[in-house]
Chain A
Amino acid sequence: MLAKERPQHFSPQYPLVQAVLDLADSSVGTTVQLERACRLFAGFFEVAAAGGLLADEHADPFAVAGTSPAARRLVLAELESVPGPGRDTLRSRRPVPHTVLDHPIARVRWPGWVAAALAAGFAAAAAVPIGQGNQPVAAIVLLRDVPAPIDLDVQPTLGALSAAAAGLIAGRRLECQERTIAQLHHALTSRIRIEQAKGILAERHGIGVADAFTLLRTHARSHRMKLADLAGRIIDGDRPRLTAGPG
């Protein structure tokens, strides 16, 4: 386990290694990692808040995180197809430079998003893609509450950090996908096994499948077993003594 005491905001002085280790913490999910990346970037660029968009293989965002509720709401709007700097950076795979929000260009480019950002008290925004090669895995939207410029070229270490973050997020995403696929497979297999077990019990006891399911469910409940596990045992030839209790 990594240190539980984690600073709320990273600073340029915050050791790079510690920042990368924080991102590498495998006990947390992808969105928590994205949120940490947001905090890291907010600290490095010294902005008020940052929001992150996780993207799929087609650079379409599918999950969000933010350092504050307002930042999260702004990236969520982008997730729901409102044009904004995060989507732009994911699509172009290039940083969106410092943009003053109360400027006609910004208002024309992202009308809905700019209105929401101004209403939330932000004055300027920029966005950076994080990714390996030319495949962005996420975008970080930097939000400043004063119109002072956000300089995207300041940190020489940022390139390394961004690459590390991208690698870790991509790895984590793959892990999450594998878990999802395993869960899906398990859920489908369980469903099929339960149906097979209903058929076995119906045939064995000369009853209907609805009654067979009642038997199965009652036995699983009274023995605190998972329905799918009991079904598996019945398929494997186990013949538990089933009684239809109140159920």
Chain B
Amino acid sequence: MLSVLEEGPGGLAALRRVPDAQWLSALAVDAVTLSLRAADSLELVWWVDPGVGAVELEDAQYLVGEGPTPEAAARGCPMVVPDLEEESPGRWPILLAHRAGMGSTLRAVAAVPVCVGRALVGVFAAYRRSPGPFLPGVLRTMGAAADAVGRQVARGPLEIPELHRDILHQAAGAVSVREGITTAEAAEFVRARLFTAGRDLIGSAEEILGHADREE
């Protein structure tokens, strides 16, 4: 499966050469996501999520700033959680509470750093609905997949697709004007507002953008 990535042009578009179903069956999971590390955030840039809520769980981690994906990025090592429901509430208190509120059905997650050379550039995460450990073979495949993803990113570093959370950045721009603050401060403001709203991230960001029309 991974040799398909090496043939043909690199960049994130290469990930689409592997059929969605094959990503999931090779790793024996229900969804996979890829986030790349920007200056102050992890940006979701690619995913295979057939409606199981992995994107929403990534959004939740982005919003509260904790969880397997941010922690894998911060520590630079894989984070494997066999069951989010059995996880100690003290580990990621806000996320775990938020997850319960979301009614997420995803139970197990493995978040693996994606590196170019020795530098961490992102996190490849795999989600499963059934709780339980990840078998060593699956974890090895996941490591190999993360390496392959890193190689593709390195082959096309300028080819960044549209960001899943681009509307949050637009909202931060709008808020910076409205409140007379910097975009960095506005980004924090937007995250806080979205968190208190407690609803879906993209819809709430659209509301913050206010009278600005929605992009298609």
A interface, CB within 8 angstroms of B: 56-58, 60, 62, 79-81, 173-174, 177-178, 180-181, 183-185, 187-189, 191-192, 195-204, 206-213, 235
The answer to whether B116 touches A191 (Cβ under 8 A) is: no
The answer to whether B173 touches A188 (Cβ under 8 A) is: no
CA distance A96 to B151 in the complex (A): 27
| 27 residue pairs bridging A and B, Cβ less than 8 Å apart | A56-B147, A62-B6, A79-B6, A81-B3, A174-B117, A177-B116, A177-B119, A178-B117, A183-B158, A189-B39, A198-B173, A199-B169, A199-B171, A199-B173, A199-B175, A199-B176, A199-B212, A200-B173, A200-B174, A203-B173, A204-B177, A206-B212, A207-B212, A208-B213, A209-B209, A209-B214, A212-B212
Which chain A residue shows the least CB distance to B38? A188
CA distance A80 to B2 in the complex (A): 10
- Selected contact of A80 from candidates B7, B178, B211, CB within 8 Å: B7
Which residues of the partner chain B approach A81 to less than 8 Å between Cβ atoms?
Answer: 3
The 4 closest A-B pairs by CB, nearest first: A199-B173, A208-B213, A195-B169, A177-B117
The answer to whether A180 touches B38 (Cβ under 8 A) is: no
CA distance A206 to B209 in the complex (A): 10
Asked if B105 is at the interface of the complex by the 8 Å CB criterion, the answer is no
Task: Count A-B pairs with CB separation below 8 Å.
Answer: 132
The answer to whether A196 touches B172 (Cβ under 8 A) is: yes
The answer to whether A195 touches B173 (Cβ under 8 A) is: yes
CA distance A47 to B91 in the complex (A): 61
The answer to whether A203 touches B178 (Cβ under 8 A) is: yes
The answer to whether B173 touches A197 (Cβ under 8 A) is: yes
Which residues of the partner chain A approach B39 to less than 8 Å between Cβ atoms?
Answer: 185, 188-189, 192
Interface residues on B, range: 35 or more
Which residues of the partner chain B approach A187 to less than 8 Å between Cβ atoms?
Answer: 157-160
Q: Known: A184-B36, A203-B174, A204-B177. Is A211-B119 also a contact (CB below 8 A)?
A: no
Within 8 A of A (CB), among B166-216: 166-167, 169-178, 183, 209-216
- Selected contact of A180 from candidates B157, B163, B170, CB within 8 Å: B157
The answer to whether A202 touches B209 (Cβ under 8 A) is: yes
Beyond contacts A196-B172, A202-B213: 4 other A-B pairs, Cβ-Cβ < 8 A, are A192-B41, A202-B174, A203-B173, A210-B216
Q: How far is the CB of B146 from chain A (nearest CB, A)?
A: 12
Which residues of the partner chain A approach B209 to less than 8 Å between Cβ atoms?
Answer: 199, 202, 209
CA distance A196 to B7 in the complex (A): 36
Which residues of the partner chain A approach B58 to less than 8 Å between Cβ atoms?
Answer: none
The answer to whether A207 touches B170 (Cβ under 8 A) is: no
The answer to whether B163 touches A192 (Cβ under 8 A) is: yes
How does the 8 Å CB contact mask read for B115-147 relative to A, with 1 for contact and 0 for none? 011110100000000000000000000000001
The answer to whether A80 touches B173 (Cβ under 8 A) is: no
CA distance A183 to B159 in the complex (A): 10
Asked if B153 is at the interface of the complex by the 8 Å CB criterion, the answer is yes
Which residues of the partner chain A approach B212 to less than 8 Å between Cβ atoms?
Answer: 199, 202-203, 206-209, 212
CA distance A185 to B42 in the complex (A): 11
Which chain A residue shows the least CB distance to B3? A81
Which chain B residue shows the least CB distance to A212? B212
Asked if B30 is at the interface of the complex by the 8 Å CB criterion, the answer is no
Which residues of the partner chain B approach A195 to less than 8 Å between Cβ atoms?
Answer: 163, 166-167, 169-170, 173
